[in-house]
Structure 1
Amino acid sequence: MLLCRVSAVSQTLARWGQRSHRGGGLLHRALSFSSSRCHGVSPGEGGAQPAETDSARSRYRDTVLLPRTDFPLKLTGQRLLDREVEIQRECGFADLYSWQRERKAKKEFCLHDGPPYANGDPHVGHALNKILKDIHNRFEMLRGRQVHYIPGWDCHGLPIELKALGDLGISGLSPLQIRQKARMFAEGAIARQKAAFQRWGVMADWDQCYYTYDGAYEAAQLNVFQEMHSKGLIFQGYKPVFWSPSSRTALAEAELEYNPGHVSRAIYAAFPLMTLPPKMASESASLEGVSILVWTTQPWTIPANEAICYMPNSQYSVVKRADSSQLLLMATERTANMAALLGTELQTVHTFTGSQLEGGFCRHPTVPDKEVPLLPANHVTMAKGTGLVHTAPAHGMEDYSVASQFNLSVECMVNEDGKFTELAGPELQNLSVMTEGTDKVISMLKECGALVKEEQCVHSYPYDWRTKQPVVIRPSKQWFINTASLKDKAKEALQKVRILPESARGSLLVMLDRRTYWCISRQRSWGVPIPVFYHRETGEALINKHTVSHIATLFKEKGSDCWWELPVEALLPPEVLKKSKAGPVTDYIRGEDVLDIWFDSGASWAAVLGEPDYRADVYVEGKDQLGGWFQSSLLTSVAVKNKAPYKSLVVHGFAVSERGEKMSKSLGNVIDPDVVINGGQDPSMPAYGADVLRWWVAESNIFSEVHIGPTALNSARESIIKLRNTLKFLLGNLQGFDPRTQAVDPKQMHYIDQYMLHLLRGFSIKVTDAYSEFDAGRVIRVLQAFISRDLSSFYFSIIKDRLYCDPEDSLGRRSCQTALEEILDGVTRSIAPILPHLAEEVYLHAPGHPEGETLFKSGWIKSSPVWRQPGLEEAVEGACAIRDSFLSSIPGKNAAQYDLTIAIEPGLLFELMESLQEEPTSTCSQLAELMMVARVNLTSELPRDLPSDALLNHGTFLINLEGGVIHEDSAYSIAVVPTSAARCPRCRRYTAESADCLCLRCQTIVSQT
């Protein structure tokens, strides 16, 4: 009869809809309350207890089913390190990627690995990036997708070349000798980094990586180059470029670091007005002897001046210095600032608009007989200086634009070493422009009376990111990509790309706008040679689809060393010359420049992703790649395929010290991931193991700066120990349980156990959503809330009596174990992407799966729709609301020592409570278990004969089901009285007739053992 009624109520509950928000809130308050008063309390523990003899305790010890497991609570030191390595070997970490590539899957997930630079040891930035990627890859694999992830390395470039040669002091080597040493250096760095990535548990086929120095990769890169060249997007030109005198090569914007503390000797220089602008001829008397005042932070560029630019719509004034009667022309709105700077009054003599300056000429102060024009330009600003801009087309990007518009000379007076050439004159020749050259130019301006003011200016200035030395802008004959013609397509492609965080989109667009052309040639040896030949006499470039395709084929077969190894006759065979309609091979020499490494890595989509789509689901890199790999990949892909190479971008912050400082050896705040794992000499850095490093990555807010240090690592370790404690409790109570044969059908399970499966389903949905959003930090928060609130503080404290004291194979205990096994499985799988070593360790101890099966080969969290029970949720949460009122009535007291009477008028809430306790009074109902009391009396009204010491309380619970169709605010009353029953010496519940007597349940169990 009982089971029939329970089944009927279950059917009623199953028809009910969503819970009310208020009901959920009551549950949370109840759980929170129980956390403070009931955490870790077994029924019958706490409060005033009658003394028990040792014999009384030991007599029944063997009849109680206490948790048993050999799963360790802690692993430390060498034992921890050995266990992680053992798990990697035992659970097949090395073969996991290949296994999942071979299995059948409906969908592929492609995370394209941005290549780390092969020029040093692994660092925490690598750890942050690689572990973040691995967490998501493991999640996607667990949920059934076939992961495409090929790790790669960026192997070319100046840093490797300098480290391979500079430290050894080697000079005078041939390109092939330089390349050999650079390759050896890169291979050593790759080996060290690869070993670290494997130790961190990163899933990949480490025998099948990509390297930008592989012949096949280089060939794919040249195919991209050829496609872009054939579309007219790549050209050779003479333009100003960022030039590094310390590296003796051109640089791209992405290869610059801006030093905000750079100090320049800024000057104000006077250019005498020699030819009046035609529109101001009538004012000749007032303009006699006037000089145009300009400001520059780069005095060394004055000898290269070709013009002075003004803003046509702005207002300008001629002013007279009170201290010298000197006449100066400047922007009207800058006169007040200039008066303060010069320390004298400036009297306005004449005011006019900028457009009236058209046609005027000034005398160059340091170059005799040279006159420079006054020209309009939109880049002139009034924020600093005088509102009149000194223009040296050879040494400024905006200056070059003016030169292009007005056909000015772009003559370069600075050589590759950053020194003045003979074109600058004998006084300046061979002087370094940034040091003694600047001194000499300022001295020359003083001598001719053109120096009006000198000041020190602290400002942001571009430095070579490799040598950490300042760069200059100088014109050079280089190869360029016309990014201006690609910008609109790139922006359109980005509209279809999901970017996390969305705020990074603006930064990417700003950096894209800032790049008008991309210099892709470098004057070095270690890189992919630009496949171009030059005519010996004319210097004309020979490059077309026939020449490039042939070179690409050679590179694929032999590698790019063949550019220097083979004779020109092999690089330019007769059939290629014929198709190219070129002269004899003897007319040509091979080019010496190599491609920018950003073009190397930017073409990785073509070399790694492959046909037909050439597109990854996601790229995941640090925020520095907004102007680097993200952008170079986008531009090359849009140029060739008219689409972005990625569907999503995830942009993470940098790893910094716990104080938020950039890591620096000089500051002594560098955290070595190897020391994090294996321990260091400093006692503050014990051996944490790989999972602590992974937890640190997962828990961090990756979309800002990511702090690391002893505090963060210790916190991660303590969090894992707490997690292990929960897992140990679950494993201990599943000893001897086989879910394959002993699991209880969900419909027959106790309602509290069904309720926990309901919560587990909600937990799994939240975790899955968080992983999908690349938010492993939210996964951890959801996990910790589930463990502390729903498990430790609520469910575990309620079920201990049933687990420990009920018969081993009873329905109640098996029901509980069924729920615990599902919870263990769900929690273990939820942490597996973050803590693969711990997850596999738990799986080795967990019941119910075949020998030799690993967690990562068995799928994602199993969440059955059957577990969703909104009506049941209302029943348990209603009971929890009542428990909230009960516990608030006995603050600090032991609930097990009380009898509880619950009075509810007939209605929905009463029926819900009746589903948890059919009899009017019970010591062993599900309602009594939830309340953790000696006895529960369920009635429609409180009895009139309550004892004088009874504690009374009242409350309401809002039931809101089926979208509000069922909406009932139900009142209840409770009466709490101390129980008259004695404490059972076996189960320690107050359900025995006398202190030396077992309760009826325990009598039955003991008599059967």
Structure 2
Amino acid sequence: MCAETPDYKDTLNLPKTDFPMRAGLPAREPEWLERWKRIGVYDRLRDKAKDGSRKPFTLHDGPPYANGHLHIGHALNKTIKDMIVRSHQMMGFDSRYVPGWDCHGLPIEWKIEEQYRAKGQDKDQVPVIDFRQECRKFAEGWIDIQREEFKRLGITGNWDDPYLTMDFHAERVIAEEFMKFLMSGVLYQGSKPVMWSPVEKTALAEAEVEYHDRQTDAVWVPFDIATGASGDAEGAKVVIWTTTPWTLPQNRAICFGPEIAYGLYEITGTPDECWAAKGDRYLLADDLAEEALGAMRLETGMYRRLRDVDAAELSALVCAHPLRGAEGAAGEWDFDVPLFAGDHVTADAGTGFVHTAPSHGDDDYQIGLKHGLEMTFNIMDDSSFRADLPFFGGQRIYDDKGKAGGANKAVIDKLVALGKLLARRRITISDAHSWRSKAPVIRLNRPQWFAAIDREVGDGQDTYGTTIRQRALTSIDQLVKWTPQSGRNRLYSMIESRPDWVLSRQRAWGVPLTCFIRVGAKPGDPGFLLRDPAVNARISEAFEAEGADAWYKDGAKERFLGYDYDPAEWEQVFDILDVWFDSGSTHAFVLRDRADGTADGIADVYMEGTDQHRGWFHSSMLQACGTIGRAPYRNVVTHGFTLDEKGNKMSKSLGNTIVPDEVIKQYGADILRLWVAQTDYTADQRIGPEILKGVADSYRRLRNTMRFMLGALGHVSDADLVAPAEMPELERWVLHRLAELDEQVRAGYAAFDFQGVFQQLFNFSTVDLSAFYFDIRKDALYCDGDTARRRAARTVMDLLFHRLTTWLAPILPFTMEDVWLSRFPGDDSSVHLQDMPATPDDWRDEALAAKWAMVRRARRAVTAALEVQRTDKVIGASLEAAPVVHVADADMLAALKSVAFEDVCITSDIVLTADPSPSEAFRMPEVEGVGVVFEKADGEKCQRCWKILPDVGQHAHPATCKRCNDALG
């Protein structure tokens, strides 16, 4: 620039905004949280709906346990929920979210027991109400901690009034829901195998069990055939295989597979140290014979197959128990062991014969029911054999720490001593463990309380079926939408095949089974259970005032029975309800009873991890089908598990855990939320340092788009805005894209597809806006005077602002609040009080969109050609160019000539021609029919807009083009 040439920088309409380049989220997010609390955003949103203009939408929160700091799975879960709630609110609903906590049950009780053990105290010596109060205090402490951790993630909701399963009203309703089961006839006391934790001394639900590898002794045991054999089968033995030797004293039958091929095998020779004997004959499944005989150390040539043995022959056999007749057995095992066909028997491992102990397995129990087998009660709560059981009394399966006791060894040693063991082998199996104590679980027959899911409920709510199972299966298919759809199949198959629901737990912290049984009566006897509405009403009244502790107070039995019954004739039940019944009942005391619940007691959405198909989704379905006759939800949304960057499950031992608090301290909660939005949450997700860096980069690109928009809107007023009809085509193309996006964003949010929503908005912001529209319109925004073009661009910026901030606010609530307040500061201002603006139908213009798609294709060829020249240092900027563009397609050429294509390509000039492209023209394979010949622009450089034009220097203002001269006035 010559010395006398004016500096025109101050005459440009440069961006004006205080919106910072650096977000500073970790430091600034707490300020916005405090602001939202101060101005009462959540309550003000509820006030907007008081006139009835907004349709209610309720996401019902699946309650986490109040017993520890949040992990990354909690962050994922609550963030997805928050996006659902916020997006529906901004789409015009009254979107309610009441956070809740599961406060009862073993997770919390176990923590208190650990504290007792550390002090050398015995929990059983503490008064039960005192113990329950300690559990309550423990839960209260963690609720306060977790509440602040959830709020720090930007989760909106009624945090001042959450629901707690230990609130007195909640305990009352849980008891009332149980008493509905009592009164409708689906409650019964039965004795069947349940998952039992010897360490925790309680039954466990399937959802409280996880599977881990453990080592055990597998044994091959011969059962002498007592009767039913003939010919060469006389004196033969049926060989069973088991990985739980401790169950053998409880054996009552043997099962075989009706479709499996069996044979009679004879031992022709034995090696040293072999428990089999020459001449022995064994019945074995043909597919497993070689493996079983090999375990006995018998090689090929030491045995031969004599013949087939069919199902009819097997069914006629009766065996003797291996311990039958043993000296000192006192006749304990002097009974017959029949053989039964069982569809559960496979030829995958073992011998094809399954030893059957009805007290210790579901399949065994069903066989026992079918054939009238005796249930045994040899195993006590601590997994020890009953004290008077011959040979094994007092031996434990597992000790108090979950380590193997002496039971297996005692049984094996006795079999060896009696010559009743053919082989043993140490193997590794996957078996059930308690997910709290991590100790192994056994299948144990215990008297428990059950809900019969195939018994007619008898409550008259039969629209969807007469039994709990029928109602649940019908609800799954007719009343609920599943995201993803695979959730439907998962829950349907589980409920279709599940057994009756075990309701009782042998613990102290929870809601008791508020019922009474007649002293001396047996389950199933008439009058065994007391069913009296007046008694139930007294219990409800006491629980509302005092909580469930009322059940344990002195004189409780007399208080609840009143004067109508003799307390001596009734026994009070002190088992507590399965904690899944608690959480399954939440629909009643949250959706039904709260002012911010729902009119029909049904939630619009339940959203949890895929493990809740066997947990909360499952128990809520069963519980509601037993009390209201249908599912308590209309939508079920499921997310997967969170893995590290390599796809490994996170664990403290591997050191690959990602703690939400650490991510927030480094990046801010919005980055964590953006990670959630960028993942397909319906599958397992990965997270780690490198992934978070990529998320932060995406965030920066999006933030820069918002910053440019804010800069362009500096000091804009309503008077600066124009109607769409007055806009140039480029602006009307942006409006078309906004109309498309409005439909896509709303459909995506309605379908809970946050990944799809964010991808659409991110691509629009970075590709359509930053790399195209903003890139083109910078010149007009900065250099034009008060032109129609500049007013149209700023109008589009205003329309973009209101849509992008509200579209993105559910995903990035802190950042969009920052963007909003940068333009609309004020004590009561917040983007979260806004709705997504309606988009006029006439913004859509498919013909215009098709035309500009051609323009953009041609532009790609031109910008690529100029980039070659820039790389070769022929030019420093695209404004130095005036390329010749050869266009073969007539429609495309006409489209390019109808727009200011030089502005679109950010060149000083451009020549469009239908002439064939010369050989030296630049071409792009993906832009067929367009060739670009580079030419430098003619003229001088305008010192204000930097375009090179022939008229520069011919106007009143020195070194300017006509456009800039006019702008300067």
Shift, 1:208, TM fit: 1.9
Q: 1:49 corresponds to which residue? A: none
Q: Does the residue aligned with 1:483 lie in a helix, a strand or coil?
A: coil
Aligned pairs (5 A) from 1:665-744: 665-678=652-665, 687-738=666-717, 740-744=718-722
User: Is 1:613 matched up with 2:600?
Assistant: yes
Alpha-carbon distance between aligned partners in 1 of 2:897 and 2:414, rounded to the nearest angstrom: 101
Q: 1:510 corresponds to which residue? A: 493
Contact 2:558–2:567 (8 Å) recurs in 1 = no
Aligned pairs (5 A) from 1:634-649: 634-649=621-636
Cα 1:932–1:436, aligned 2, differ >3 Å: closer, same or farther?
same
Q: Does the residue aligned with 2:548 lie in a helix, a strand or coil?
A: coil
Alpha-carbon distance between aligned partners in 2 of 1:471 and 1:953, rounded to the nearest angstrom: 70
- Deviation string, structure 1 residues 149-192 (Cα, Å, up to 9, x no partner): 21111110012012123223332111101100000000011111
Q: 1:657 corresponds to which residue? A: 644
Contact 2:735–2:843 (8 Å) recurs in 1 = yes
Contact 1:955–1:972 (8 Å) recurs in 2 = no
Q: Does the residue aligned with 1:292 lie in a helix, a strand or coil?
A: strand
Greater mean alpha carbon deviation, residues 977-986 or residues 443-452: 977-986
Q: 1:592 corresponds to which residue? A: 574
Q: 1:553 corresponds to which residue? A: 541
Contact 2:129–2:549 (8 Å) recurs in 1 = yes
- What are the ranges of 5 or more consecutive residues in structure 1 without an aligned counterpart? 1-51, 578-582, 679-686, 917-925, 959-970
Specify which of 328, 336, 339 is matched with residue 282 of structure 2.
328
Alpha-carbon distance between aligned partners in 2 of 1:880 and 1:377, rounded to the nearest angstrom: 70
Q: 2:116 corresponds to which residue? A: 168
Contact 1:420–1:431 (8 Å) recurs in 2 = yes
Q: 1:964 corresponds to which residue? A: none
Q: 1:535 corresponds to which residue? A: 518
Cα 1:614–1:77, aligned 2, differ >3 Å: closer, same or farther?
closer
Aligned pairs (5 A) from 1:350-369: 350-368=307-325, 369=334
Cα 1:362–1:568, aligned 2, differ >3 Å: closer, same or farther?
same
Q: 2:829 corresponds to which residue? A: 853
Contact 2:504–2:575 (8 Å) recurs in 1 = yes
Greater mean alpha carbon deviation, residues 308-317 or residues 624-633: 308-317
User: Is 1:869 matched up with 2:835?
Assistant: no
User: Is 1:399 matched up with 2:368?
Assistant: no
Alpha-carbon distance between aligned partners in 2 of 1:818 and 1:355, rounded to the nearest angstrom: 88
- Percent identity over the alignment? 32
Aligned pairs (5 A) from 1:540-939: 541-546=528-533, 547-565=535-553, 567-568=555-556, 570-574=558-562, 577=564, 583-610=565-592, 612-678=599-665, 687-738=666-717, 740-807=718-785, 809-846=786-823, 852-887=828-863, 890-893=866-869, 894-899=877-882, 912-913=895-896, 915-916=898-899, 926-936=900-910
Contact 2:26–2:667 (8 Å) recurs in 1 = no
Q: 2:223 corresponds to which residue? A: 271
Shift, 1:748, TM fit: 0.6
Alpha-carbon distance between aligned partners in 2 of 1:955 and 1:476, rounded to the nearest angstrom: 75
Contact 1:303–1:367 (8 Å) recurs in 2 = no
Shift, 1:560, TM fit: 0.8
Alpha-carbon distance between aligned partners in 2 of 1:201 and 1:560, rounded to the nearest angstrom: 34
Alpha-carbon distance between aligned partners in 2 of 1:911 and 1:152, rounded to the nearest angstrom: 63
Contact 2:295–2:425 (8 Å) recurs in 1 = no
Q: Does the residue aligned with 2:635 lie in a helix, a strand or coil?
A: strand
Q: Does the residue aligned with 1:878 lie in a helix, a strand or coil?
A: helix
Contact 1:97–1:204 (8 Å) recurs in 2 = no
Q: Does the residue aligned with 2:359 lie in a helix, a strand or coil?
A: helix
Cα 1:53–1:90, aligned 2, differ >3 Å: closer, same or farther?
farther
Contact 1:428–1:440 (8 Å) recurs in 2 = no
User: Is 1:470 matched up with 2:427?
Assistant: no
- Deviation string, structure 1 residues 119-144 (Cα, Å, up to 9, x no partner): 11222221111111001100000011
User: Is 1:378 matched up with 2:343?
Assistant: yes
- Deviation string, structure 1 residues 543-576 (Cα, Å, up to 9, x no partner): 314233431232123211111125135533446x
Q: 2:461 corresponds to which residue? A: none
Cα 1:186–1:359, aligned 2, differ >3 Å: closer, same or farther?
same
Q: Does the residue aligned with 1:863 lie in a helix, a strand or coil?
A: coil
Q: 1:300 corresponds to which residue? A: 246
Contact 2:266–2:306 (8 Å) recurs in 1 = yes
TM-score (norm 1): 0.85
- Deviation string, structure 1 residues 728-760 (Cα, Å, up to 9, x no partner): 11111111111x221111111111111112112
Shift, 1:806, TM fit: 0.7
Contact 2:861–2:930 (8 Å) recurs in 1 = no
Shift, 1:514, TM fit: 4.2
Q: 1:997 corresponds to which residue? A: 959
Cα 1:668–1:103, aligned 2, differ >3 Å: closer, same or farther?
farther
- What are the ranges of 5 or more consecutive residues in structure 2 without an aligned counterpart? 271-277, 326-333, 399-403, 456-467, 593-597, 870-876
Shift, 1:302, TM fit: 0.8
Q: Does the residue aligned with 2:75 lie in a helix, a strand or coil?
A: helix
Q: 1:28 corresponds to which residue? A: none
Alpha-carbon distance between aligned partners in 1 of 2:61 and 2:922, rounded to the nearest angstrom: 65
- Deviation string, structure 1 residues 57-91 (Cα, Å, up to 9, x no partner): x6111111111211101033764355444554566
AA in 2 matched with 1:667:
L
Aligned pairs (5 A) from 1:15-34: none
Alpha-carbon distance between aligned partners in 1 of 2:895 and 2:170, rounded to the nearest angstrom: 68
Shift, 1:875, TM fit: 3.3
Aligned pairs (5 A) from 1:349-498: 349-368=306-325, 369-432=334-397, 434-485=404-455, 486-496=468-478, 497-498=480-481
Q: Does the residue aligned with 2:948 lie in a helix, a strand or coil?
A: coil
Alpha-carbon distance between aligned partners in 1 of 2:126 and 2:2, rounded to the nearest angstrom: 89
Cα 1:1002–1:295, aligned 2, differ >3 Å: closer, same or farther?
same
Alpha-carbon distance between aligned partners in 2 of 1:71 and 1:300, rounded to the nearest angstrom: 71
Specify which of 127, 138, 160 is matched with residue 86 of structure 2.
138
Report which structure shows greater RCO (CA 8 Å, sep ≥6).
Answer: 1
- Deviation string, structure 1 residues 880-920 (Cα, Å, up to 9, x no partner): 3443444455552354334456788998666645643xxxx
Q: 2:200 corresponds to which residue? A: 247
Contact 1:268–1:295 (8 Å) recurs in 2 = yes
Cα 1:238–1:736, aligned 2, differ >3 Å: closer, same or farther?
same
Shift, 1:262, TM fit: 1.6
Shift, 1:457, TM fit: 2.4
- Deviation string, structure 1 residues 600-653 (Cα, Å, up to 9, x no partner): 111111221116522111110011111011101111122222321111111101
Contact 1:308–1:374 (8 Å) recurs in 2 = yes
- Deviation string, structure 1 residues 339-377 (Cα, Å, up to 9, x no partner): 443332331123221221233221211232443222232
Contact 1:236–1:478 (8 Å) recurs in 2 = yes
Alpha-carbon distance between aligned partners in 2 of 1:950 and 1:157, rounded to the nearest angstrom: 79
Alpha-carbon distance between aligned partners in 2 of 1:356 and 1:906, rounded to the nearest angstrom: 85
User: Is 1:227 matched up with 2:185?
Assistant: no
Alpha-carbon distance between aligned partners in 1 of 2:919 and 2:349, rounded to the nearest angstrom: 84
Cα 1:798–1:219, aligned 2, differ >3 Å: closer, same or farther?
same
What is the Cα-based RMSD across aligned positions, in Å? 2.9
Q: Does the residue aligned with 1:651 lie in a helix, a strand or coil?
A: strand
Shift, 1:420, TM fit: 0.4
Alpha-carbon distance between aligned partners in 1 of 2:647 and 2:91, rounded to the nearest angstrom: 36
Specify which of 163, 166, 172 is matched with residue 210 of structure 1.
163
Alpha-carbon distance between aligned partners in 1 of 2:225 and 2:498, rounded to the nearest angstrom: 36
Shift, 1:107, TM fit: 1.5
Greater mean alpha carbon deviation, residues 107-116 or residues 655-664: 655-664
Q: 1:122 corresponds to which residue? A: 70
Alpha-carbon distance between aligned partners in 2 of 1:131 and 1:516, rounded to the nearest angstrom: 35
